[in-house]
């Protein structure tokens, strides 16, 4: 497992521990966590340095995982299902990235193809 994957695994584990043990974290509910994400995204937009940016992006990621855990408690899908779903969705919508072919699309062409794949999957 590469370092990023291992750090993500640890982050999810720490977040689950926090969610199980912290009354404040539990009290937020999914709407509270979503609100916190929006506040952190604003901080990402205003981060003055790379160090601040890393911290604020980490807060967005932490709050996103917390939102998923809160939704799971409210009857939503588990974190593993969310991760699998996004992976499958991206691979379906951008097969040209993952099929080993040489990418010869312009950014505009790729965006158009993305939109076409998105419409097909609805």
pLDDT tens across the length of the chain (122 residues): 799 999 999 999 999 999 999 999 999 999 999 999 999 999 999 998 988 999 999 999 999 999 999 999 999 999 999 999 999 999 999 988 899 888 888 999 999 999 998 898 77
Query: Does 48 lie in the same domain as 36?
Result: yes
Q: What is the DSSP letter of 75?
A: T
5: buried, middle or exposed (CB in 10 Å: 19+, 13-18, 0-12)? exposed
Query: Does 62 lie in the same domain as 86?
Result: no
Whole-angstrom Cα distance, residue 109 to residue 33? Answer: 36
How many domains is the chain partitioned into structurally?
Answer: 2
Query: Does 86 lie in the same domain as 64?
Result: no
Instruction: Give, rounded to a whole angstrom, the gap between the first and last alpha carbons of the chain.
Output: 34
Q: Which residues contact 40 (CB under 8 A, 6 or more apart)?
A: 56, 59, 60, 63
Q: Which domain holds residue 5?
A: 1-76
Query: Does 67 lie in the same domain as 27?
Result: yes
Query: Does 59 lie in the same domain as 19?
Result: yes
Query: Does 86 lie in the same domain as 66?
Result: no
pTM above 0.75? yes
Query: Does 104 lie in the same domain as 72?
Result: no
């Amino acid at each position: 497992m590469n370092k990023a994957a291992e750090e993500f695994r640890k982050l999810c584990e720490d977040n689950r521990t926090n969610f199980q043990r912290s009354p404040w974290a539990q009290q937020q509910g999914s709407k509270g966590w979503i609100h916190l994400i929006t506040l952190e995204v604003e901080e990402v937009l205003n981060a003055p340095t790379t160090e601040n940016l890393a911290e604020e992006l980490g807060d967005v990621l932490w709050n996103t995982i917390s939102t998923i855990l809160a939704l799971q408690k409210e009857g939503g899908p588990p974190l593993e299902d969310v991760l699998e779903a996004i992976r499958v969705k991206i691979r379906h919508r951008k097969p040209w990235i993952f099929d080993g072919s040489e990418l010869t699309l312009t950014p505009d062409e790729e965006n158009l193809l993305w939109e076409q794949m998105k419409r097909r999957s609805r």
